[in-house]
Amino acid sequence: MRGFRYVLLAITTSSMGFIYCNRVQFGFTLICQRPENSTENPDYYLNDPLNVAWIFTSAAIGMCVGPLPLYYVYKFDTRIVYFVYSLFAVLSSGLYPLADSFGFWPVAICRFFAGFAQASQLHFTNEFVLNWEWTYYVIGFGSLVTSIAFVLTYHDDLTKNKYLTEEERQQIIEGKTEKEQSKHKEPVPHFDLLTDIAIWSCLILFIAYYIGMINYQLYSPTFIKESDNRVASLIFLMTFASMHFFVPVICSRTIQMIGAQHAHFAMNVNMVIAGGIQIVVPMLVVLIVPDNTREQWSHLFYLITGMIVVTCALYLFGTDATPAKWTKSVDQETEFEKKFENFPRITIKTK
């Protein structure tokens, strides 16, 4: 099939989008689940802000735990690993409305597995014809369909993918070395990677960005609900949501350039950090914004703004977007280079 790689890209992006949707959709359905008057159902678990914070946190814990099995299953076919993670997203979304009828703990477990798989901001089914429960059904079904499509069309071995033409195979592998095409993985130099200032400059910038991003991702429905002009609020929200994607792209690309073949480990560290931040942020919001007033939210936003400014400066001065010394294989090092083992950020160019 000519141009099949673009079809595969669309399928993969759609599947990842639905899985990502699963994690954050709770922030949108929350405003529909909670009664306008808490006295209508005083025992409902979502009337307690601390319970809401813990449900947000349970998805974050899942995000922290999710990358751990990947260290041991990389030898399996990508399709198997991806589909298993997708099933967690499908089940956690499809079973959530049922879990809601049983109370806090079943819901917390569902949200844990939503974070385990990962999750977007698909909220248009909340109040249009269908009830909020159908948000979870639609996203669960979308996750299942797109994940099955991915499994049926993707293959780790390009030569075994019956949909690719020979011309496309050559375009995909063009410029790649035999080492990059091989499935052999070099041992990760964990100590060198985790003590590299350039890597940490990227990670620290990501921390500040993610604290700001997760605030509007989780709590933007709350802002919109309280606004007199919801259309204007939604436009501003979408504008900032579009702008924020620059930071993770920059951080991820810089880490890939620095870490080269070991970048996957740094990216997993990034995911664990993201989960840790999402654990902390809901509790931070409960502490700083207990009454949900404009003044309290402004204090939180000023704090986040200051953090982002400082971390951007650190990124500019602390990052060197070139492959680190520890990415080079031992057999590629010259005797002259080996004299500088204690200076991991010095790069010696040799022929």
Q: For residues 277 and 279, what is the distance between their CA atoms, to the nearest angstrom?
A: 5
pLDDT at 348: 40
pLDDT at 337: 44
Q: Taking CA 290 as the corner, what is the angle to CA 286 and CA 293, rounded to the nearest 5 degrees?
A: 125
| Pair of tokens at residue 90 | 């499908």
pLDDT at 111: 74
pLDDT at 230: 63
DSSP 41: S
Domain boundaries, the chain: 1-184, 190-346
Ranges of the chain whose pLDDT falls below 50? 119-129, 331-351
pLDDT at 310: 92
pLDDT at 123: 34
How far, CA to CA in Å, does 185 sit from each of 54, 83, 255?
38, 23, 18
In whole angstroms, what separates CA 231 from the centre of its chain? 27
| Pair of tokens at residue 294 | 């404009």
pLDDT at 291: 80
Q: Taking CA 32 as the corner, what is the angle to CA 91 and CA 243, rounded to the nearest 5 degrees?
A: 80
Cβ pair 158, 164 in contact under 8 A: yes
Q: What confidence tens digit (pLDDT) does each residue in 261-302 have?
A: 888 788 878 877 877 887 888 888 888 888 877 788 888 889
What is the crossing angle of helices 104-117 and 49-65, to 10°? 40
Q: For residues 193 and 189, what is the distance between their CA atoms, to the nearest angstrom?
A: 6
